[in-house]
Amino acid sequence: MDFGIIGYPLGHSYSRAFFTEKFQREGIDAQYHNFPIEHVDELPRVLSEFPNLRGLNVTLPHKQAVIPYLDELSPEASRIGAVNVIRIDRSEGKPHLKGFNSDIIGFVESLRPLLKPTHRKALVLGTGGASRAICVGLEGLGLEWRYVSRTKREGAFTYNELTPSILQEYPVVVNCSPVGMFPHVDECPAIPYEALSEANLLFDLVYNPEETLFMRRGAQYGACVKNGLEMLRLQAIASWEFWTAPNP
């Protein structure tokens, strides 16, 4: 069996190491491949070249663009409007592709233990495919949320509009943007870090580096910080369930 991940670039991807170790540890006869495709229209070629491919993870920039190539969506993926797991069923000959979203599973289970009663509102930095799942996850945890965007859009703050009072009202800040991801480790989202305190919780979906500048600057002012590594591991576990369960 073959499994893999599509995205571009894939230098930051942790998934191949995770699944390769899992296959070796559990004696599973399978391989996990990186497919660094710049354009999602290369997906049919990947499916053709790897006839034993049974599942794919999907990362930036394809989480939304891949949807037209799928035959079916799970209810969660449909609601979120983004896919990061594809189950490939070849039992009828022609590949049947079903999309899922494990971002929400990994995020909710990773964030939940850190929440305090005062954490009732959250800022979501970035408006891409990953942020859609985060917003649904926040709602499931009972938190209100608002986007923070580089450009003005209805219902969202811009980075220039963020004030100390907003960071007090929205004490949870989730970075869903790639800002600060390797190799750009000297960058961070442009929020007023000096306004943070021990009342704030900063969650960074980035996991490479393990301590981003966003986290480091937040911790400097007393905020609780966490990266996306545990979220990634939980996502990977959920991916395997989607790929191998009889009727996911």
CA distance 132 to 127: 7
Mean pLDDT along residues 193-205: 97
| AA letter at 141 | L
φ and ψ at residue 82, rounded to 5 degrees: -150, 150
Provide the 10 A C-beta neighbour count for residue 151: 8
Are the C-beta atoms of residues 105 and 241 closer than 8 Å to each other?
no
Q: What is the pLDDT of residues 157-166, one digit of tens each?
A: 999 999 999 9
Kindly name the residue from 63, 94, 152, 226 that is annotated as catalytic: 63
pTM to 2 decimal places:
0.86
Return the pLDDT at 93: 84
> Which 3 state secondary structure label does DSSP give 33?
strand
**Six token digits for residue 62:** 């394809």
Statement: residue 12 has pLDDT above 70: no
**Six token digits for residue 156:** 């969202």
Return the pLDDT at 194: 97
Beta pairing class for 2-7 and 53-58: parallel
Statement: residue 189 has pLDDT above 70: yes
CA distance 93 to 222: 56
Q: Tell me which residue has tokens 């709602």.
A: 139
> Which 3 state secondary structure label does DSSP give 37?
coil
Distances (CA, A) of 221 to 43, 105, 149, 165, 199: 45, 29, 23, 16, 10
Provide the 10 A C-beta neighbour count for residue 25: 8
Mean pLDDT along residues 17-28: 96
Return the pLDDT at 92: 87
CA distance 132 to 104: 9
Mean pLDDT along residues 118-134: 91
Mean pLDDT along residues 130-150: 94
| AA letter at 142 | G
Residue 20 makes CB contacts below 8 A (sequence gap 6+) with 31, 32
Mean pLDDT of the chain, nearest integer: 95
Return the pLDDT at 127: 87
Q: What proportion of the chain, given as a percentage, has pLDDT over 90?
A: 86
Beta pairing class for 85-89 and 53-58: antiparallel
Residue 58 makes CB contacts below 8 A (sequence gap 6+) with 5, 6, 7, 66, 83, 84, 85, 86, 99
121 is catalytic: no
CA distance 240 to 227: 22
Return the pLDDT at 4: 98
**Six token digits for residue 209:** 């580096």
